[in-house]
Every structure is written in structure tokens, then in C-alpha cells.
Amino acid sequence: MHKTRVLAAFLVVLGLAGCASTPKSEPFHTRIYSGSYDEVWLATLKALNDYPLKMSNKDTGRIESEIINGPYNDLLFSPIEPIELPERFRYSVKVNFAKLESSDDRSLTRVRIVKGLEKFRDFYAGWTAFQSDGLEENLLLYRIQHILQMDQQLADQ
């Protein structure tokens, strides 16, 4: 009888823990900017100045970086806590653009950033996908917004 109670309690706790798990975040980060496609494109290229670019095609609305070693771009920022074995990480950044129209005919541009982060597990498993914390992607989206605001202020003067 005691074993069945322990087993039942274990199953209840296991069921509750399964329900309390946090949902996975999306693998991309998106922001919509008020501005023409050309303005947002140039602001994004300025924000990606510290990245080696593999592809930049304005007609298809795609920018892709070369593979960068480490979990973060060292030229962009330094993480608060040291990362154990940063050489076991690599990633590339992919940026996609889309022209949008608002109800009042303002130009809007959607920017979506995907960070393809990989971690080297071992000789047999090799490089496997690893979920990004979203810090670098959000920082890039902030930089794009900031550059757009600075460009607008300079144009108003």
C-alpha cells in the first residue's frame, strides 16, 4: 500500500512539473520599423558593421553573416559572466526584410533576425543546434531603431 502511495504521489508531481514547463520561444526576433525599405536597409547594414557578411541582397531582402566563432560577437559586447569554452560555439546571423503598408499609407518595414547558434558536443555528435538567449538579436534590433532615430534627427536639422 505504501509503495502505491509513493508511486501515485510521484506521478502527480511529475504531471504537475510537466504542465509547469515554460513554452519554447520562437527561433527568430522581429520588429516593425516606421520608415521606407531603403532607410531600414541602410540602418541595418550600419548595425551589422561589426559582422563579416557573406550575403547582402537588397532585392530579395536578405542579409547573412559568415560563421562567427563563439556564442556572441566580441566586437558587439562582452557578456556579463565568462562563458565556459566559448570555442565550442559558432553561429551566423540571418536577417530578412519585408515591406508593409499601414492603414494610413505610412511605409513600414519588418526586420526578422535569426541567430543560427551551434554547439560542438563531441567528436561523434559534432555541431548541434543550440537555442540562443535572444540577447544579441534584441541588441541588433535596438541598434537599428537607434540608427533610424539618429538619421531622422540629422535629416530634420
The pLDDT tens digits for 102-149 are 888 889 999 999 999 999 988 888 889 999 888 899 999 999 999 999
- Domain extent listing, the chain: 28-156
Average the pLDDT over each of 16-20, 21-25, 148-152 and give the range with the smallest value.
16-20
Architecture of the domain whose range is 28-156? 2-Layer Sandwich (3.30)
Mean pLDDT over 54-82 rounds to: 87
Residue 12 in this model has a pLDDT that exceeds 70: no
Name the phi and psi angles at 23, rounded to 5. -70, 150
pLDDT in the model for residue 18: 41
